[in-house]
Amino acid sequence: MPEIIALGESLVEIMRRKGVPFTKQDVFLGPYPSGAPAIFADAAARLGASTGLISVVGQDDFGLVVKERLRRDGVDTRHVRVARGFPTGVAFVTYERDGSRKFIFHLKHAAAGQLCAADVKAEYFRKAKFLHVMGSTLFIGDGARKACMEAVRIAERAGVKISFDPNLRPELASLKEIRRACEPVLRRAHVVLPSGEEAKILTGEDDPLEACRKLLRLGPGIVALKRGRFGSTVLTEEVGEGTHVAAFKVKEVDPTGAGDSYDAGFVTGLLRGHSLKRAATLANAVGALSVTKFGPMEGCPNLSEVSRFMASRGGL
């Protein structure tokens, strides 16, 4: 029975290199195993945490790519269901010159969209310490949203802490839908891990730090604000200005999955009893290393790699 459970979409990404738009005929690269909850689970497992994933893939080669990668890296995939008659989810990704990304998703009508409350088994949570929920999963479809809320209810009853990454995808939902769907998870979460833009979207506040303070008033005990190349800031009710931890400088190859990897580092740090500053430092290091290779999971480091990297950069 895993200590960390993630649930949500497993898929493959078909990717283009920077500056090649979808409208131009060109080469796509992949398939790369992906899906925000799957990336999180893979990164946490590589850091040595006992991790399981509740998800759905198709009975096809893309599904094999995802499951084999997760199993290889130590993720418990017993609750990754194979849905016959549905293809594995796909996300097409292209990169703008300024580093921003565009997505075309095939999720709702794929296997990822078949996740439902019946996939969530209370017994699986018997030894869990954390349940990790991604906002992107809330907007795949009604079944996936109900699966998330069933997992949250089970976690609450079992005393399992909930970590929540808003992971907002404007391609999947309107602003009104985003706030309505995220609120019940935010109120039950122990830790929330937004970007500055996500914090602003969820609260309506223009200043990211004030937005995070507003999130704290909804119920979470901790908000870890992800700030990319500027590091991260951890806020609690007791520390109004927050604890800022500088980023590790690396050469970025592909930013996909950096936030999910950060989440894994932070939650793993909390699981090990780290201070908030040390957990954020670990998370910054994991997020930094994740962007040094092309592909969502390709840069996810193991614990020894992170330790050497942090030692070489003067980390904790």
**Could you write out the DSSP letters of every residue in 296-316?**
TTTTPPPHHHHHHHHHHTT--
Q: Are 95 and 101 in contact (CB under 8 A)?
A: yes
Radius of gyration (C-alpha) of the chain in whole angstroms: 18
Q: Is 287 helix (H, G, I), strand (E, B) or coil?
A: helix
Residues sharing a CB contact under 8 Å with residue 117, sequence separation 6 or more, in sequence order: 143, 146, 147, 149, 150
Contact 32/296 with Cβ under 8 angstroms? Answer: yes
Q: Is pLDDT of 303 > 90? A: yes
Percent of residues, the chain, with pLDDT higher than 90: 85
Task: Supply the pLDDT for residue 313.
Answer: 82
Q: Is the pLDDT assigned to residue 315 strictly greater than 70?
A: no
| Nearest to 193, CA basis, from 185, 291, 63, 303 | 185
- Residue 272: give its domain's CATH number: 3.40.1190.20
Give pLDDT tens digits for 194-207.
999 999 999 999 99
Full domain range(s) for residue 192: 4-312
Q: How far apart are CA 191 and CA 263, in angstroms?
A: 10
CA–CA separation, 261 vs 301, rounded Å? Answer: 9
pLDDT digits (tens, 9 = 90+) for 109-124: 999 999 999 999 999 9
What is the DSSP track for 232-281? Answer: EEEE-SS-TT-EEEPPPP---S--TTHHHHHHHHHHHHHHTT--HHHHHH
pLDDT digits (tens, 9 = 90+) for 215-255: 999 999 999 999 999 999 999 987 667 899 999 999 998 89
Tell me the H-state helices in the chain.
Answer: 36-46, 61-72, 135-138, 142-158, 175-188, 196-203, 208-218, 258-271, 276-290, 303-312
Among 49-53, 76-80, 227-231, the minimum mean pLDDT is found in: 227-231
pLDDT digits (tens, 9 = 90+) for 58-71: 999 999 999 999 99
- pLDDT at site 169: 75
How confident is the model at residue 88, as a pLDDT? 98
* The one-letter amino acid at 138: L
Separation CA 286–CA 223 (nearest Å) = 18
- SS3 state of residue 222: strand
Centre a 10 Å sphere on the Cβ of residue 217 and count the other Cβ atoms it contains.
9
Domain count, the chain: 1
